Structure 1
Amino acid sequence: MIWVIRLLVAGFAALFVIIGVRAMIDPQSIITQFELGRQGVTGTSAIRADMGGFFIGTGIAALVGLFPGKRQWLLGAAGMVALAFLGRAIGLMSDGITANIAQSMIIEAISVALLVAAFAILSPRRREELAAEKTAEIERQRLAAEEERLAAEQNDMIAQNEAQLQRDRDLAQPIV
């Protein structure tokens, strides 16, 4: 489970970094994708800096959050995406919705849920609980194997005792 969540977060982070790098290197593709309209030099610079920085920063924060002791970075990334979602929600109330806006909001909502879930799942306390459960299961298996061994020994002893009793009875019989 932990590796699945790590892979999902890594995939999210890679996607965001790729979008951010694309915004910096090829802002025209971002202008088209996000329907930003015609931009001058200042607008293109803002797309490179603001959108590129947002996406790369969020992706890197999510990646850093995967390292031991750094899971709080996942909440930072979740907060950034939640703010983007909030901005879209405000726009939704005043400007309406398009298919691209709905798609972006769904991706952002899933991303926030993923990052918050990863924060909870990657909790040191949760890892300790999982380790304790695994240790308890191993101990249960060891005890079950020990019980089986003891039962087998007891059955062997009973069989040996019965065999000895039969020999004693046979020896006690007079030979005719």
Structure 2
Amino acid sequence: MGERNFMKRLLRGAVVLWAVYFLVLGVRGLIDPGVYADNLGVSLDGVFGASTIRGDLSAFFIVASVFALLGALPFRDGRRRRHDWLLVPASLFAVALAGRGIALPGGGASDPGISMAMIAEAVSVVLLLVTWRVLGRTRR
């Protein structure tokens, strides 16, 4: 029983740190979309490009963060299956990972930025799914 509680707390803490990082990135991108240009390899071409990058990437990171927090934090409101919210950010990052995978045959594998982004996305998906699974276990 103690090991299970420790694992749940450890995973909850890891997801909360993950979510805070991406929430900060999302909010920073709303304020200054150049953050995405510097960190994610996208360019800001004109007002339309900047607003698209600001809106789309910030939405991605903020929504993923909010749902990760909703799924990881231990609310005591009597609702069951709250951990299912973790599937939202896991799905977002899995689709992003798949999208990057499409770029690999066209020479994307040689770009270290793509490789690092894919590693970060894969680790995120694994963290979120493992946490979802562990939090979903009930006592028998």
**TM-score band, normalised by the shorter chain?**
0.7 to 0.9
**Equivalent AA in structure 2 for residue 114 of structure 1:** L
**Could you tell me which residue of structure 1 aligns to residue 119 of structure 2?**
106
Name whichever of 112-121 and 95-104 sits farther off. Answer: 95-104
Unaligned runs of 5+ in 1: 130-176
How many residue pairs match? The answer is: 127
**Could you tell me which residue of structure 2 aligns to residue 151 of structure 1?**
none
**Could you tell me which residue of structure 1 aligns to residue 57 of structure 2?**
51
SS in 1 for 2:18: helix
Residues 72-87 of structure 1: pairs in structure 2 closer than 5 A: 72-87=84-99
* TM-score normalised by the chain length of structure 1: 0.68
**Equivalent AA in structure 1 for residue 63 of structure 2:** G
Whether contact under 8 Å (2:34, 2:44) holds in the other structure is no
**Could you tell me which residue of structure 2 aligns to residue 6 of structure 1?**
12
Whether contact under 8 Å (1:23, 1:51) holds in the other structure is yes
**Equivalent AA in structure 2 for residue 122 of structure 1:** L
SS in 2 for 1:71: helix
Picking from 129, 134, 139, the partner of 1:116 is 129
Matched, 1:33 2:39: yes
Measured in 2, the distance between the counterparts of 1:12 and 1:118 equals 12
**Equivalent AA in structure 2 for residue 47 of structure 1:** I
**Equivalent AA in structure 2 for residue 103 of structure 1:** M
Q: Which has the larger radius of gyration?
A: 1
1:77-113 C-alpha deviation (Å, 9 max, x unpaired)? 1011100101111122234231111111101101100
**Equivalent AA in structure 2 for residue 112 of structure 1:** V
**Could you tell me which residue of structure 1 aligns to residue 104 of structure 2?**
92
Of all paired residues, the percent bearing the same amino acid is: 35
Q: Against the structure 1 CA distance between its residues 48 and 38, is the aligned structure 2 distance closer, same or farther, given a 3 Å change threshold?
A: closer
Structure with more relative contact order (C-alpha pairs < 8 Å, separation 6 or more): 2
Measured in 2, the distance between the counterparts of 1:119 and 1:32 equals 32
Measured in 2, the distance between the counterparts of 1:11 and 1:104 equals 18
SS in 2 for 1:90: helix
Measured in 2, the distance between the counterparts of 1:38 and 1:18 equals 20
* TM-score normalised by the chain length of structure 2: 0.85
